[in-house]
Structure 1
Amino acid sequence: MPGRGLEEQNRVNRTVKESPPAAMSRNGYFFEESGYLKCDTDDVKEEGAGEELFDGVNSTIVSGDSIRFFVNVNLEGAPSATAESEGAGCVLLHTSRKYLKLKNFEEEVRAQRDLDGFLARASIILDETATSLDDVLREMLKHFAEDPENMEPSCNFEKIMNTLFTDSGTPREGNGTPDVSESTGMNVQTCPSHLKFHLLSDTIQGVTATVTGVQYQQSWLCIICTIKSLQRRHVCISRLERPQNWGENSCEVRFVILVLAPPKMKSTKTATEVGRTFATMFSDITFRQKLLETKTEEEFKEALVHQRHLLTVANQRPSGMSDGHKSHGNKPLKLHDFLNIGKGISDDIARRFPVYALDFTDGIIGNNKAIGKYITTMIFLYFACLLPSIAFGSLNDENTRGAIDVRKTIFGQCIGGLLYALFSGQPLVVLLTTAPLALYINVIQGICDDYNLDFSAFYAWIGLWNSFFLVIYSLFNFSLLMKLFKRSTEEIIALFISITFVLDAIKGIVKVFKKYYHHGHTEGGKSRADAIPGLSINTTFLMNSSVSENQTCTHDGHYGRETAVLSLMLMLGTLWLGHTLYQFKKSPYLHARVREILSDCALPISVLTFSVVGSYIFKEIEMSKFNYNTSDSLFVLAPVQSLSIGSVMSAMGLGFLLSMLFFIEQNIVASLANAPENRLVKGTAYHWDLLLVALINTGLSVFGLPWIHAAFPHSPMHVRALAYVEERVESGHIYETIVSVKETRLTSLMANFLVGLSLLLLPFPLQWIPKPVLFGLFLYIALTSIDGNQLFERVALLLKEQTAYPPTHYIRRVPQRKIHYFTGLQVLQLLILCGFGMSPLPYMKMIFPLIMIGMIPIRYNLLPRIIEAKYLDAMDAEY
């Protein structure tokens, strides 16, 4: 076999049954690829995949430098009785599968010459409207015929079409017209044309080796063919206007590369080698996205030349990612790493400053504009920042008796968000005040009440000590410690945050029912006017409200029950509509761009819709409103000098615990945003961002504004909103792969600027947003945040029968009992964390950051004594 990349060839003979037309693909073709290009660029590669041994004949394993295929072989030479009764014909199909190495553009000169020859006689078709594979190929061959430079006088393009496909006229009795076989001279019966199947003869397609088998790159297809009548090689590339479904493993085809070559060529010039050249280039998911964004043939050629430059000069693996984007690196930690004071900060600045200007121009200037995506992301981010600010501001207003209210929370969000968007190393991270911070503020108020301290001064000192410790952490490169947080630990913390959202939304609606449904009947038919009491870690809007004293009863004598029922409807409706629109991008309805816009704007659409329902359609039913006080100034310095030395030292202890929370939350959320699968290319800045958060919160503390840090799941959702994705279909499931992300500061800048302008909307119309809508908002955030959480997925396995287990990497590599042991230990850690974080004792709540830190020795010292380290590493792996 020719070709440098040929490592192993396995040939199998198998019996293929014809299927009726109803089982065919949309365009009438059964599709079997006979050439495969292995790469680890598009889909995530599982290291050591080839070392896994599986039994059985139906497994497909890619290992090392080869592909081994095991298939069932029908050894029966005659059709069975069942087959005869069903009227199915049978032929023998010989399938040849080869493993081809990615072409090395730096070492193999022929790769560059192949591309140069193609550019000299470029055959490029942009936005092809044909939908069937036959029509696309005919248009490509027609393009050959009409081009004077590519004329082949002795070439019959109909014969080429016949050569591209393997068609069968299966022998069958009783039907069809007798034909004479050219080889034997015997009469044979051929089945009718509607029972023939249509297979491409020779193709190359990108695949990725994982422990679950082979994952196909389904957005491109390289078809190669050797034609005797040709005099030279020909290459044509067609970019389809829309993705086409051409059968299994080719469900989202956007590019078709057709390579034709004469048979008598040297080994480096064969159709397979030319196809390998272009297949290597198209195996890069980022490159394919660039080709989709080109408008003209010249831009298309420029993209090809640029890709060749990358593969030749830099000798890069086409992945769209570099090692520099991995979270915190993979080198073992040493004491010297923490003694290089400021080195992490200087490295972060050196990495991010050269691309600082691009953070403002990407997507705005140039060919690849993304203004529409920026607008939808800005709208989503505006509501994602404003609504929690209202909710937590209302809670803080109750807890601090007006010292920190909604106005201060919105203003602090605006100032802190703008500063972080302008000067941070990773502007895709979103800063917010969060539930644990509201908890700390409540505890601080209790301490001030117990010891007769000035709240503003004590709050300021705690914030200053917190910022001091954060500066120390950033200067001594403590963010490197975050590599000790394995995926399992991060998922425990993430699920803890989701649980707090769910539980406190439920607590809020239960308190509404207790007030209005069960106790709404009072003497004289008057409604109770006292505020809803209670506090929980994530409750955001239990605001003081009262109902008019002269409001009359309902006809059954119970005023307030309709308020409780409407509150439940608004909460569940906000959740349902938001999640439905969020998942709408996976539906087949409407245009892809419309689906994407609806998905990105799911949160604002849901909140606005049910705010109108609660405040306008059911305006007769009074809903609670948050307090608003315009008399307090936003710029009042805290009297820090009024506290004694002992009180300042006490604030230091609380500030240290608070700094632990800031350190963990900031770094974990930033790590999730910088995850390798997000394909961010401008680098990370953990140390600098931590220092910037410390400086921002210093200013917020002295002016009595609420603290802010990186928020989950808002930051990963911000990244996802700015991402371009490529879909593939496997076994009926749609999987998305992020192609690229628009790393910009503009969305965060504009969203926080609009948050500041929202001060002009106080008290109305912002007070028209009912409290239950905000309950639904947090249920929506909790539900979307568990998407992809492996801990949640493994807990769900306990409720499934084993035959329904998904073919994930840990299912393949880890015994089932070990999986359940590991899941149980994670759940136990989660319960302990919830026990401290949701404790009714305020002082116990404050130490739960130390519980998070304690998970590190548990993972490294305790769990390996229960479960083998190789199984722990497999379950902690990304894929």
Structure 2
Amino acid sequence: MRKTDSSDPLAYTGRLFGGLQNDLRRRLPFYISDFRDGLSSKVVASTVFLFFACLANAVAFGALTSIMTGGEIGTVEMIVATALGGILFALFAGQPLTILGGTGPIVIFTGLLYALSQQMSLPFLSVYAWVGLWAGLFMLILAFTDASALMRLFTRFTDEIFAALVAVIFIYEAVSSLLAPFMENPRDNSKALMTLVLSLGTYMLARSLKMVLQTPYLQRKAREFISDFGPAIAIAIMTAFALLMPEIDVERAAVPETFATTTGRPWLVDLFALPTWAIFAAAGPALLVTVLLFLDQNISARLVNSPLHSLRKGCGYNLDLVVVGVITAVCSLFALPWIVAATVHSLNHVKSLATTETVSLGSSTTEKIISVEENRVSPLLIHLLLAASIFMLPVIKMIPMEVLFGLFLYMGFSTLSGTEFFERVRLWATDRKLYPQTHYVRRVPRKVIHLFTLIQLVALVALWILKSSPAGILFPLFIAMLVPLRFLMNRWFAEEHLEVLDAEEANDEHMDDDTMGDFRP
């Protein structure tokens, strides 16, 4: 691998610990300011919003993990892992704006590992612990050898497919919850209607309140306050609405009344319940989960560190990987779920801390991020509150799951609509004369834009199908295969077109008409 400039966060230094040392040099000067800059109202709003979002994620993916592991790992374990891992990451990571949590691909892999353990008549928790310990070790090796420099091969093409996949998983889970009451008991119209009202009500309220900033009503500070606290206000209003109608049954968060493991087992796993050969054989599945954790963490970090977010303090890919590797190993000892950068939560965290302005692009407008309150306070408080929620389980159960899935819907669409991929998909149904005057519309032929987008869409559908197929355990490798697919596209597209469509940042959004040349669609 070719050595690059040390100022590049994805530089390959060619020295053991070289990239990690660069990350520390880059981030340590800002460590105190990360706490000082967290003293703002935006941080408070972001904390409240993301606390409920992380709680919803822990409850939902914890319940799904319980189903896929025969109840051996469940919601309490997911909450504990998310709280503990999030606190450690907020304190020691290079990019604290990244939010850790359970993810769909990791839960799916855990279920496949459980099935494999059952087939081989091995104790699942011991197998899980050794796979996690090996994976933690492998991630530390990757961090110490500058393996994150491989992310230079990933581009906006792959980032957008991955972000869209995770966003669609959120939307799919939310919509499935909306439809479930109608399918389970078609005659129970009251519960089905209440599910619809609470979920869609939370989504529409959060979305409407978030957009208050773009209206001419009230003073700007009042609009900013309502916009920042919009999701939290929506959760409070819809929860109160549900409590005012106790006669209608709603689904409550699937958490126990007391703090204990799901099955009542001891927290610490018996590592030596496995035969010696199985301990070493666990390194095989660990390689696959390492690939998944490595890609999940680094792709999400690339999305957070996008130039479009105007971050100024720098990042630390190798340092982040060290922290995630340690968290993975610690969680494995206690059979807690593996957690990694949660794409949807991380991007919503950045957006909730952002100051934006509305930019006109021909007949349409878009939001441009001017600055972001980069800090460690909001992620630290989010996960401290999550840890405290373990001791307030009866109170947490008052929040209807329908409200939390409405929040899932909001976050999924918010993430999806923030990608250039989704903007280009919408062009298929847009009048050519009303195309927004973005950099790629002005400089790339229309047919080329649509073909590039179609390839991304086909790749997204293929990943969606694969993740639920019998070959799902190979899912991490197929994400990595997006890189050679992107290189193959150099044969099908002109280089100047790919540079525009796949650029990290659009530096010429307001290019003069004279510079458009023959690239008009």
Gaps of 5+ in 2: 507-521
Q: Greater share of helix residues, 1 or 2?
A: 2
What does the per-residue CA deviation read over 1:350-393, in whole Å, with 9 as the maximum and x for residues that have no partner? 221222222222354xxxxxx22222122122222222112222
Instruction: Kindly provide the amino acid, as one letter, of the partner of residue 863 in structure 1.
Output: M
Aligned to 1:684: 315
Aligned to 1:222: none
Q: 1:821 aligns with which of 451, 455, 458?
A: 451
Instruction: Kindly provide the amino acid, as one letter, of the partner of residue 386 in structure 1.
Output: L
Aligned-pair CA distance for 1:731: 5.2
Aligned-pair CA distance for 1:855: 1.0
Aligned to 1:446: 115
CA distance in 1, matches of 2:367, 2:257: 47
Instruction: Kindly provide the amino acid, as one letter, of the partner of residue 792 in structure 1.
Output: F
> Within 5 Å, which residues of 2 pair with 1:600-749?
600-614=228-242, 616-625=243-252, 626-628=254-256, 630=258, 631-632=260-261, 636-728=267-359, 734-749=365-380
Aligned-pair CA distance for 1:598: 2.0
Q: 1:350 aligns with which of 10, 13, 25?
A: 25
CA distance in 1, matches of 2:356, 2:459: 35
For 1:328, what is the secondary structure of its paired residue? coil
| In the alignment, structure 1 residue 753 sits paired with structure 2 residue 384 | yes
Aligned-pair CA distance for 1:730: 6.2
Gaps of 5+ in 1: 1-322, 330-336, 365-370, 518-557
Instruction: Kindly provide the amino acid, as one letter, of the partner of residue 241 in structure 2.
Output: V
Distance 1:737 1:514, change over 3 A: closer
For 2:343, what is the secondary structure of its paired residue? coil
Aligned-pair CA distance for 1:869: 1.9
Q: Greater share of strand residues, 1 or 2?
A: 1
Instruction: Kindly provide the amino acid, as one letter, of the partner of residue 346 in structure 2.
Output: S
Aligned to 2:10: 328
What does the per-residue CA deviation read over 1:650-687, in whole Å, with 9 as the maximum and x for residues that have no partner? 42222111111111111111112212232322221110
Higher relative contact order (CA 8 A, sep 6+): 2
Distance 1:593 1:773, change over 3 A: same
Q: 2:426 aligns with which of 785, 796, 807?
A: 796
| In the alignment, structure 1 residue 388 sits paired with structure 2 residue 63 | no
CA contact 2:6–2:13 (8 Å) conserved in 1 = no
CA distance in 1, matches of 2:448, 2:350: 34
For 1:744, what is the secondary structure of its paired residue? coil
Distance 1:814 1:468, change over 3 A: same
Aligned-pair CA distance for 1:784: 0.2
CA distance in 1, matches of 2:235, 2:245: 16
Aligned to 1:40: none
CA distance in 2, matches of 1:363, 1:563: 42
- Identity among equivalent pairs (%): 35
CA distance in 1, matches of 2:354, 2:338: 29
CA distance in 2, matches of 1:608, 1:395: 25
What does the per-residue CA deviation read over 1:529-574, in whole Å, with 9 as the maximum and x for residues that have no partner? xxxxxxxxxxxxxxxxxxxxxxxxxxxxx4x232122212222222
| In the alignment, structure 1 residue 436 sits paired with structure 2 residue 105 | yes
Aligned-pair CA distance for 1:619: 1.4
Aligned-pair CA distance for 1:431: 0.8
Aligned to 2:437: 807
Aligned to 2:510: none
CA distance in 1, matches of 2:179, 2:284: 36
Aligned to 1:426: 95
CA distance in 2, matches of 1:725, 1:562: 41
CA distance in 2, matches of 1:751, 1:570: 24
CA distance in 1, matches of 2:345, 2:62: 18
| In the alignment, structure 1 residue 838 sits paired with structure 2 residue 513 | no
Aligned-pair CA distance for 1:434: 1.5
Aligned-pair CA distance for 1:324: 8.5
Q: 1:850 aligns with which of 462, 473, 477?
A: 477
For 1:831, what is the secondary structure of its paired residue? helix
Structure 1 segments of 4+ aligned residues over 6 angstroms from their partners: 323-326
CA distance in 1, matches of 2:356, 2:183: 46
Q: 2:395 aligns with which of 765, 775, 782?
A: 765
Aligned to 2:174: 505
Aligned to 1:562: 190
Aligned-pair CA distance for 1:342: 0.9
> Within 5 Å, which residues of 2 pair with 1:206-605?
328=10, 337=12, 339-362=14-37, 364=39, 371-517=40-186, 558=187, 560-605=188-233
Distance 1:635 1:326, change over 3 A: farther
Aligned-pair CA distance for 1:484: 1.1
For 1:582, what is the secondary structure of its paired residue? helix
Instruction: Kindly provide the amino acid, as one letter, of the partner of residue 19 in structure 2.
Output: G
Aligned to 1:535: none
Aligned-pair CA distance for 1:790: 1.6
For 2:397, what is the secondary structure of its paired residue? helix
CA contact 1:833–1:851 (8 Å) conserved in 2 = yes
Aligned-pair CA distance for 1:338: 6.6
Aligned-pair CA distance for 1:690: 0.4
More divergent stretch after superposition (772-781 vs 422-431): 772-781
For 2:481, what is the secondary structure of its paired residue? helix
CA distance in 2, matches of 1:635, 1:816: 61
Aligned-pair CA distance for 1:509: 3.0
Q: TM-score, normalised by structure 1?
A: 0.54
